[in-house]
Amino acid sequence: MIPKNCSMKSIVVCILLCLGLSGCVSIPDRIEPVQGVQLNRYLGKWYEIARLDHSFERGLNDVTAEYSLREDGGVKVINRGFSSAENQWKQAEGRAYFVRDPTEGYLKVSFFGPFYGAYIIFGLDQENYQYAFITSHDKSYLWLLSRTPTVPDELISQFINVSNSLGFKTDQLVFVQHK
């Protein structure tokens, strides 16, 4: 039932807003989230090895993501990186929740109030949990994460080849420096 004081314009705006927000947690074409994720093994510190650049990370090095369990069953996310230009650390804290199944690498993450974006693990070292390939709701987001600040060249080649075959712009990758 629609309240009498709501105009059609207000209703349309609300519907479009909801559709727009839900689009940010969708899965891009040809991307398949990893199955069989064990959250307890995924938790902990990850180093960002490579990314497609975005304003929220531009100019940052020594970038890490730390995941821990929240009391509500979600995941606490702390992203941290060093800005040489500003000579200071930047940090953002967020929260993430599984979208469908708690063993599927498909989560929604929020750093800004009620707004969520997709966090899709589409590649994972499921034996040792040493690396992960991550994207979001569209292919302009891409990360290679590792448990160590450096990785073998073979892993970087694998990441580039897989990502390129899925339609990511791998020629625009930024490789993160760690000290």
Domain contains 97: yes
Domain contains 114: yes
Cα–Cα distance, 163 to 40 (Å, whole number): 26
For residue 138, what pLDDT is reported? 94
Domain contains 24: no
CATH code of the domain in which 137 resides:
2.40.128.20
Domain contains 12: no
Domain contains 6: no
152 SS3 class:
coil
Total count of domains within the chain:
1
Per the structure, the complete domain to which residue 73 belongs is given by 29-175
pLDDT over 50 (residue 6): no
Element (H, E) at 160: helix 153-165
Distances, alpha carbon 103 to alpha carbons 57, 111, 135, 146, in Å: 28, 23, 17, 20
Domain contains 5: no
What residue has token string 């929020």? 110
Domain contains 106: yes
Write out pLDDT tens, residues 16-38: 333 344 459 999 999 999 999 99
Write out pLDDT tens, residues 53-93: 999 999 999 999 999 999 999 999 999 999 999 999 999 99
Domain contains 65: yes
pLDDT over 70 (residue 9): no
pLDDT over 80 (residue 13): no
Q: Residue 3: which pLDDT band, with cuts at 50, 70 and 90?
A: very low
Write out pLDDT tens, residues 105-163: 999 999 988 999 999 999 999 999 999 999 999 999 999 999 999 999 999 999 999 99
Specify whether the CB–CB gap between 46 and 65 falls below 8 A: yes
